[in-house]
Structure 1
């Protein structure tokens, strides 16, 4: 004999369970597509936003590991050719302002984003963090970035060797002349330890973001809002001189042989940029990889860097 009220109640409970389960799955799917913080990436010298062998490949690697993530690869200029040229010949301060404008106008970044810069793109993104706090940058990953600049260009990357030769000659003949500073990107993070006063007076970009002339408290406050500042050094780097610049170290002032770590520098001991406080708070991460400049495996990238993007 059938108990119709019990059967009806059973069916109703099953329907409710199925409905609840469906809603739960939809909710989890929606969360899965939106839980990853957006990522902004900036390429290095001689590269561009969309090269399938470099930034395009990085974008795909990140998207494969973090399905649903929004990745913006910055194009500085109207097209790929202009973007590539900007890495050599466009005023860095203008490039940073251009990037800030792109980021501020992107509705997908309004709640905040992580950033990953490659080679010179890393110090450019640090300038974005210091100068443009809205929307907020959460984690900055510097992959081979030269945060104390360079004093030498032993192996200039890029497709055009004659451009690299011309850059070397220009830097050696007068890195701190107005014409070279305004029109050559690499001069704007050229750091001559033998002419420290000249560097501090005439460096249009690096001396400013590294607080070499005056301490801009806004720069300091903005950088300190980062949740993590990750710096990757390539232990067999033949491009960056000195390679310790990738961990914010540099040559000791007055000579070009002995280096000092970030923690030994006046920038840290005087805490002009807030890095000492960030270090004590566990916000600074120093990673090393056994390769030449920007040479790493997908396995290393996924194991060491992807966790900072989750």
Structure 2
């Protein structure tokens, strides 16, 4: 009888499919080409045999996908992704979600806004996400320098103008610590998902339903300013020099997302790694992300 039990247990392990994975790329990247997230998708499929990986394409082509990372309202993007994930037959048994750079806060918005209508989202991995926003944009990914400079100028001088908010993705998570009131009341995306306008209890519950919310910070990040936003830290309001760790920010202290509870229960995981923005080795990712969070 004991031998039969062990045999059946082993057969179950062999036949069990690994949890599916959904990826959302960042600014200047695209879903599917080999030198972007397409290559990372292949890496995951090799590292986790039998896993289904969906790298989200926002638009009808990879070109549209790239452009939409700059110019399609994140609220529209999140709405489309919620509908797509809800109808995806290969995700019906649940999935793990990984966001890269701005894709991290967009994926978090999916969890918070429609997690209760989707198959179970087990773990949310944020790779260099800007969860308290950014105040500076030194590089613009794949865009040519003249366009990059134009985007910087718009953000510096007109980020909270209505037309800029609706025309430029990065404006929707631009966080000026010198003007907190305007940021909260004029920004059309980030203050909402951070529950800074009012507290949406569904957002809190959906986020807390995760098994783990993993925040990866890149210690030598030269693209995200400030890099502490990757761990929910940000500038102290009223100036742009002194940094506040997550535990001293308004979002945490007033428990607007339930981060205190998640931290206490071991669901909120903070990981740092050396290197510039999204620079990590396959070995590091296997040891720190795949083994503890993606093999369940």
Give, in whole Å, the separation in 2 of the partners of 1:24 and 1:167.
56
Give, in whole Å, the separation in 1 of the partners of 2:137 and 2:250.
25
TM-score scaled by length of structure 1: 0.90
User: Equivalent residue for 1:265?
Assistant: 249
Offset of 1:195 from its aligned partner? 0.5
From 203, 206, 223, the counterpart of 2:207: 223
> Paired residues, what number?
290
Q: 1:81 to 1:28 in 2, by over 3 A?
A: same
User: Equivalent residue for 2:30?
Assistant: 48
Q: 1:289 to 1:24 in 2, by over 3 A?
A: closer
From 25, 39, 50, the counterpart of 2:21: 39
SS at 1:56 equivalent: helix
Q: 1:171 to 1:138 in 2, by over 3 A?
A: same
Q: 1:61 to 1:266 in 2, by over 3 A?
A: same
Give, in whole Å, the separation in 1 of the partners of 2:207 and 2:66.
28
Spell out the pairing of 1:87-126 with structure 2 (5 A cutoff): 87-126=69-108
Give, in whole Å, the separation in 1 of the partners of 2:241 and 2:8.
64
Give, in whole Å, the separation in 1 of the partners of 2:174 and 2:135.
6
Q: State yes or no: 1:58 paired with 2:36.
A: no
| Kept in 2: contact 1:250–1:261 (CA 8 A) | yes
Offset of 1:268 from its aligned partner? 1.0
From 125, 140, 165, the counterpart of 1:141: 125
Give, in whole Å, the separation in 2 of the partners of 1:28 and 1:212.
44
Give, in whole Å, the separation in 2 of the partners of 1:43 and 1:28.
31
Greater shift, 235-244 or 129-138, is seen at 129-138
Gaps of 5+ in 1: 1-16
User: Equivalent residue for 1:285?
Assistant: 269
Q: 1:21 to 1:305 in 2, by over 3 A?
A: closer
SS at 2:26 equivalent: coil
| Kept in 2: contact 1:157–1:239 (CA 8 A) | no
Q: State yes or no: 1:209 paired with 2:193.
A: yes
TM-score scaled by length of structure 2: 0.94
User: Which structure: larger Rg?
Assistant: 1
Offset of 1:110 from its aligned partner? 1.4
Offset of 1:306 from its aligned partner? 0.7
SS at 2:277 equivalent: coil
Give, in whole Å, the separation in 2 of the partners of 1:156 and 1:80.
18
Q: State yes or no: 1:173 paired with 2:157.
A: yes
Q: State yes or no: 1:256 paired with 2:268.
A: no
From 113, 130, 134, the counterpart of 1:150: 134
User: Equivalent residue for 1:30?
Assistant: 15
Q: 1:193 to 1:27 in 2, by over 3 A?
A: closer
Offset of 1:22 from its aligned partner? 10
From 72, 75, 82, the counterpart of 2:64: 82
When the two chains are superposed, the root-mean-square deviation of aligned CA atoms in Å is: 1.9
Give, in whole Å, the separation in 2 of the partners of 1:59 and 1:267.
33
| Kept in 2: contact 1:233–1:244 (CA 8 A) | yes
**Structure 1 stretches of 4+ moved >6 Å:** 20-26
Give, in whole Å, the separation in 1 of the partners of 2:206 and 2:6.
44
Gaps of 5+ in 2: none
